[in-house]
Amino acid sequence: MTAETIIQSLASGLLMGLLYGLIAVGLALIFGLMDVVNFAHGEFLMIAMYITFFLFAFFALDPLLSMPLVAAALFVFGAVVYLLIVRFAVRAKANAGMVQIFSTFGLAIVMRGLAQYFFTPDYRSVNHSWLGGKTVSIGGIFLPQPQLFGALVAILAFVGLYFFINRTDFGRALEATREDAGAVALVGIDKNRVFALGWGLGAALVGLSGAIMATFFYIYPDVGASFALIAYITVALGGFGSVFGAFAGGIIVGLVEAATALMLPPALKSVGIYAVYLLVVFVRPRGLFGSM
Amino acid sequence: MDSFHQRRRRDLFVAFIFAGLAALAPLFVKDVYVQNIMVLTLMYAALSQSWNILSGYCGQISLGHALYFGIGAYTTALLFTKFGVLPWFGMLAGGVISALIAMGLGYPCFRLRGHYFVIATIVIAEIGLLLFHNWTWAGAALGIDIPIRGDNWLTFQFTRSKLPYFYFALALACVAWFVTWWLEDSKWGFWWRAVKDNPDAAESLGVVVFNSKMGAAAVSAFLVAIGGSFYAQFVSYIDPESVMGFQFSLLMALPAVLGGIGTLWGPVLGAVILIPLTELTRSYIGGSGRGVDLIVYGGLIVLISLARPQGLVGLFSSRKVPAQ
């Protein structure tokens, strides 16, 4: 193993990690807002990838161009899921935690079933997109364009999210609702509206990642499952409740995955991520940047 | 207190009636397909009841119990195929190994709370799955084909009839139910509920929280592993995905959640409704491979969990479901 191979795979790992961060940040945002873990998060990603695919297949719209459309569609979808399901799940007086887990998990199964029904279990891919299959060479290191672009979008999304939460009225309403939903109601902010918008925003971020993922990953009804666990680990590693933690968690997961792939056979590449998650929470039961 | 003990006596009485009726069921049901569903229903009732001890009563939600199910299945199958050890000893060994592993894992994991704990259980089971996938001696991804060495209770293999499996599954479900019934009124049962409701308050009142969790984990893992051993004998072929996959962790949790988590009858009720429904939707509308069974199944989970967060068990009972 040469130094070049190591640098090469760590660089790819870093890019992939930023993308993992982008996939996970919606989950972290929603959790931070209302302490709910969306167990259909992977399926949100799946839907985003299918939308990207169909826009490409029917309208020849490149994923780069359709990205805002996908994000917008997912925004609506996220808000609707909140209004139709999650709004009622959080009202449960008994077993609140279980109800949230299983209502969103049931939704995940329904979404997979619907995808199988309407899109068939076939594997799809977006061929010949502007980014797909191309690499850039930076100082002798070859970086795949989709991942590089994804990393850039992830960084921009995090910066954007930071300003959005701290500098806009809606961001402040989000933050205030997170701290004390009861008090917020007293000053005339509709809690449900804020939560719905929070779900929309979280889903829109998944939409961005889905559009990018579609350029280099196969699209099939179960695709979300592979990324959902990584997303939960990313969020937990960074610490539930911390949006910045998801960013850091993503980078760590990407790097650890790349490092494991160098040392262990490919079949075991996830073991590294799992082991690092366990090590981190055994030492710090609140994740790296968890606040509570 | 009196009504509590009256209720317990009534529960025991009702359980005897149900078990008796179930034992007579094969007299009327000759269809092998239906018998198969009955075996699975009883097995899931037993598994879910065992899962409920740790996750329902003690409140430590595990979505990684497939690990213990798989260890039970693998221990029995490996001891039998590699060393000719009878499944009955394999079953016991699998149970003990699982209980020990549960306590070994509990040692670091029980410091975690909430979602951190849930994710840790998923991750640990996934590590187990990956290890078995790559463990050549244990058949790796191909799994183990358990050779038929008899048609009797000694080797616990039956080629002509499903009835012996049915009666074993019934016995296992009864044992899991009885253990839960017995623990409900024991010192452990009260400790567990205290730990679930408020671990800090429980600790300050002298409950050894950590030991309570370890006890629940050991009992729960032991019983689930017995279920895994049984399953290996029942299907006579196992591979990592089919006994240790994440779906088993969920399938074990669902009956208890839908029936009523942390209740005595929840897992039984959930399994009786859910498992036949799963099997029937799979065979009648799942055959098209177009996912309609998933839509029905998932939709049902959403509806029940939203409509009856305390589980279905309350519908059949005049008394109040224990406060969660």
| Per-residue model confidence as pLDDT tens digits over A182-233 | 787 787 778 888 899 999 999 999 999 999 999 989 999 999 988 999 999 9
Please tell me which residue, A142 or A1, carries the higher pLDDT value.
Answer: A142
- For residues B65-76, give the mean pLDDT: 95
In B, residues 158-217, which contact A (CB 8 Å cutoff)? none
Query: Of A103-107, B154-158, B222-226, B255-259, where does mean pLDDT reach its minimum?
Result: B154-158
pLDDT at B321 over 70: no
- A contacts of B301 (beta carbons < 8 Å): 102-103, 105-106, 109
The pairing of beta strand A141-144 with beta strand A135-138:
antiparallel
A99 vs B: CB within 8 A: yes
pLDDT at B318 over 70: no
**Contact at 8 Å (CB) between A11 and A143?**
yes
Please tell me which residue, B306 or A140, carries the higher pLDDT value.
Answer: B306
Map residue A265 onto helix, strand or coil.
coil
Closest CA–CA distance from residue A65 to any residue of chain B (Å):
31
**Contact at 8 Å (CB) between B196 and B1?**
no
Average of per-residue pLDDT values in chain A: 89
Euclidean distance between CA atoms A65 and A149, whole angstroms: 13
- The closest of B172, B261, B171, B184 to B8, measured between CA atoms, is B184
Residue given tokens 């960074």 in the structure block: A238
B81 vs A: CB within 8 A: no
Euclidean distance between CA atoms A251 and A65, whole angstroms: 26
Map residue B185 onto helix, strand or coil.
coil
**Contact at 8 Å (CB) between B188 and B179?**
no
Euclidean distance between CA atoms B280 and A147, whole angstroms: 44
Closest CA–CA distance from residue B295 to any residue of chain A (Å):
4
Which among B61, B108, B300 has CB closest to A282?
Answer: B108
Q: Which residues contact A70 (CB under 8 A, 6 or more apart)?
A: A48, A51, A52, A55, A207, A208, A210, A211
DSSP label at residue B274: H
Euclidean distance between CA atoms A8 and B218, whole angstroms: 46
Contact yes or no for B298 and A120 at CB 8 A: no
Euclidean distance between CA atoms B284 and A173, whole angstroms: 49
Which among B112, B261, B309 has CB closest to A92?
Answer: B309
pLDDT digits (tens, 9 = 90+) for B125-172: 999 999 999 888 988 888 888 888 777 787 778 777 888 889 999 999
Euclidean distance between CA atoms A21 and A152, whole angstroms: 12
- A contacts of B289 (beta carbons < 8 Å): 116, 121
Query: What percentage of chain B exceeds 70 in pLDDT?
Result: 95
Which among A103, A116, A267 has CB closest to B291?
Answer: A116
- A contacts of B250 (beta carbons < 8 Å): 105
**CATH number of this structure's domain B2-246:** 1.10.3470
Contact yes or no for A117 and B292 at CB 8 A: yes
pLDDT digits (tens, 9 = 90+) for B181-234: 999 888 888 888 888 888 888 888 877 888 889 999 999 999 999 999 999 999
A264 vs B: CB within 8 A: no
- For residues B283-287, give the mean pLDDT: 70
How far are the Cα atoms of A59, A92, A185, A252, B268 from residue B309, in angstroms, in the given order?
A: 44, 6, 26, 37, 17
Euclidean distance between CA atoms B166 and A225, whole angstroms: 34
Which among A101, A221, A285 has CB closest to B116?
Answer: A285
Please tell me which residue, B263 or A187, carries the higher pLDDT value.
Answer: B263
Contact yes or no for A115 and B302 at CB 8 A: no
Q: Which amino acid type is present at position A174?
A: L
B279 vs A: CB within 8 A: no
B135 vs A: CB within 8 A: no
Euclidean distance between CA atoms B165 and A57, whole angstroms: 52
Contact yes or no for A270 and B134 at CB 8 A: no
Contact yes or no for A282 and B111 at CB 8 A: yes
DSSP label at residue A84: I
Contact yes or no for A107 and B300 at CB 8 A: no
Most B CBs within 10 Å: which of A39, A102, A222, A234, as the mutation test of the B interface? A102
- For residues A52-56, give the mean pLDDT: 95
Q: How many CB atoms lie within 10 A of CB B284?
A: 11
pLDDT digits (tens, 9 = 90+) for A6-22: 888 899 899 999 999 99
ipTM of model: 0.89
Map residue A137 onto helix, strand or coil.
strand
Please tell me which residue, A168 or B178, carries the higher pLDDT value.
Answer: B178
B254: nearest CA partner in chain A:
A102
pLDDT digits (tens, 9 = 90+) for A74-97: 999 999 999 999 998 888 777 777
Tokens at A93, concatenated: 């007086």
- Give me the residues paired with residue A144 across strands: A135
Average of per-residue pLDDT values in chain B: 87
Closest CA–CA distance from residue B298 to any residue of chain A (Å):
4
Query: What percentage of chain B exceeds 90 in pLDDT?
Result: 40
Query: Of A147-161, B146-160, B211-225, B306-320, where does mean pLDDT reach its minimum?
Result: B306-320
A246 vs B: CB within 8 A: no
Tokens at A274, concatenated: 């799992």
Cα-atom radius of gyration of chain B, to the nearest Å?
A: 19
Q: Which residues contact B9 (CB under 8 A, 6 or more apart)?
A: none
A163 vs B: CB within 8 A: no
- For residues A228-249, give the mean pLDDT: 90
- B contacts of A266 (beta carbons < 8 Å): none
Which among A89, A102, A285 has CB closest to B111?
Answer: A285
Map residue A144 onto helix, strand or coil.
strand
Closest CA–CA distance from residue B296 to any residue of chain A (Å):
7
Euclidean distance between CA atoms A197 and A183, whole angstroms: 19
User: How many helices (H) and strands (E) in chain B?
Assistant: 13, 2
pLDDT digits (tens, 9 = 90+) for B94-132: 999 999 999 999 999 988 988 899 999 999 999 999 999
- The closest of A224, A103, A279 to B120, measured between CA atoms, is A279
Q: Which long-range contacts (CB under 8 A, 24 or more apart) does B74-78 make?
A: B74/B132, B74/B138, B74/B144, B74/B228, B74/B232, B74/B238, B74/B243, B75/B225, B75/B229, B76/B228, B76/B229, B76/B232, B76/B233, B77/B144, B77/B146, B77/B232, B77/B238, B78/B138, B78/B144
- For residue B290, count CB atoms less than 10 angstroms from its CB and return exposed for 0-12, middle for 13-18, buried for 19 or more: middle
Euclidean distance between CA atoms B192 and B214, whole angstroms: 11
Query: What percentage of chain A exceeds 70 in pLDDT?
Result: 99
pLDDT of residue B323: 45
